[in-house]
Chain A
């Protein structure tokens, strides 16, 4: 299972929630350069994980956002084209869902990261697609 290292995940999550690098550095008591480095590394790891996932399942990549940790892709299921939405959920790793069939914890995660302002499936699809 793919998981970011704990410290890196913490920094990434704080940034994904909208905190600035300088605020994260102050909160964690580290330098801003260390935060910047951790964020760069986290983004590369997330890209690597999402691209790898798409490669394994032969999905066509539509959008990968390493800041908020999600991917939109196009795949084929039973001969028809389907939309795939994948998320990096802290502590759980990568989770992929077909055609926006999101469980509540994903909606909660999207609200927490500011992707949407309320846990609504349609709103989340719109936010991911536009």
Chain B
């Protein structure tokens, strides 16, 4: 899984499209939903962060980037690797925390809208939105609290499905909750590299292999022997 940036405003677009599609309904709604789906596929599968010609280049979308950011290596002030930096909370590191929080709000709102229309799968929307935001809200060191929160949300959602007369979804939620709690114990989903310059902060999310090799790349470039003269 390549490293990717999730706090760029472009990341809000598919969720906004999805919300609008549910509000409109009909053929326009279906078209917007399809557009949102392909946008998610394009953004999540083709974005990456690389080191090219002494610069960190972050792209959202390839070959046609929807957003692109370049940081020269000599502008880097700080590099942080998660989950090893166990006291760092991801949501506090985003330059635009309102993007992931906006996605959470949209997901929960769509769920609430469905519940308002007496459509039971609104619970599923709220459940998945809340669960996927836990990685940003808890520090890697707070594993136990993260697990308790995950189990609590799963239990509440399972109860809501039972209450709404859909016991078949209880098993789905129970299994998903169990997986999430297990992964939380391994800090899965909290692998990130945070690059800070004097002007901005970039959070790159990925898996442990991607973060590891990215740090190695920076290391080999920066520790490669710069013969810097005194001013």
A residues near B (Cβ < 8 Å) are: 5-8, 11, 30, 34, 37-38, 40-41, 43-45, 47-48, 51-52, 54-55, 60-67, 72, 74, 126, 129-130
Contact = CB atoms under 8 A, between A and B. Distances in A.
Contact of A130 (B76, B87, B223, B225): B87
B76 A43 contact: yes
B228 A44 contact: yes
Interface of B: 73-81, 84-89, 139, 215, 219, 222-226, 228-231
Contact of B230 (A6, A30, A52, A61): A6
Given A8-B230, A55-B223, A61 B73 contact: no
Given A55-B223, A63-B85, A129-B86, A41 B74 contact: yes
B189 to A, nearest CB: 18
B223 A48 contact: yes
A43 B73 CA distance: 10
A7 B229 CA distance: 11
B75 A64 contact: no
B74 A61 contact: no
B77 A62 contact: no
Contact of A44 (B73, B80, B86): B73
A40 B75 CA distance: 6
A63 B75 contact: no
B88 to A, nearest CB: 6
A72 B154 CA distance: 36
17 contacts: A7-B231, A8-B231, A38-B230, A40-B74, A40-B75, A47-B76, A51-B222, A51-B223, A55-B219, A61-B79, A61-B81, A62-B84, A63-B85, A66-B76, A74-B84, A130-B88, A130-B89
Given A48-B226, A55-B219, A126-B87, A34 B77 contact: no
A74 B215 CA distance: 14
